[in-house]
Amino acid sequence: MLDQDTPDICTAQQIALIAKALAHPARVRIIEFLRSRPGCIGGDIVEDIGLAQSTVSEHLRILKAWCLASGAYKPIATKQGQHRDWQLS
């Protein structure tokens, strides 16, 4: 039987899923980067962290799936076209 100090099962499952999303050191580094520079493009993350673009994209996809990061397409004045503007959720 659960008492008031014990999180309910749903909350415990949510905590476990978030912990799983943060289990990779690269994802923790991406979160730290996004905390220091909100509203950046993926290329900024690639340059700072030093991982391949495809690797960073996969980690961002996972963080986005768990609602830890969000990315919206916005025009960037210094580049042609639109780029995804990443930030913490």
User: Is residue 57 included in any domain, yes or no?
Assistant: yes
User: Is residue 20 included in any domain, yes or no?
Assistant: no
CATH number at residue 38: 1.10.10.10
With beta carbons less than 8 A apart as the criterion, state whether 37 and 2 touch. Answer: no
Looking at residue 2, its pLDDT comes to 47
User: Is residue 11 included in any domain, yes or no?
Assistant: no
pLDDT digits (tens, 9 = 90+) for 32-63: 999 998 788 888 999 999 999 999 999 999 99
Q: Angle of helix 9-21 relative to helix 53-65, nearest 10 degrees?
A: 170
Looking at residue 33, its pLDDT comes to 93
Range of the domain at 67: 26-88
User: Is residue 19 included in any domain, yes or no?
Assistant: no
Q: Per the structure, how many domains does the chain have? A: 1
Looking at residue 32, its pLDDT comes to 93
pLDDT digits (tens, 9 = 90+) for 16-37: 888 888 899 999 999 999 999 8
pTM of this structure? 0.73
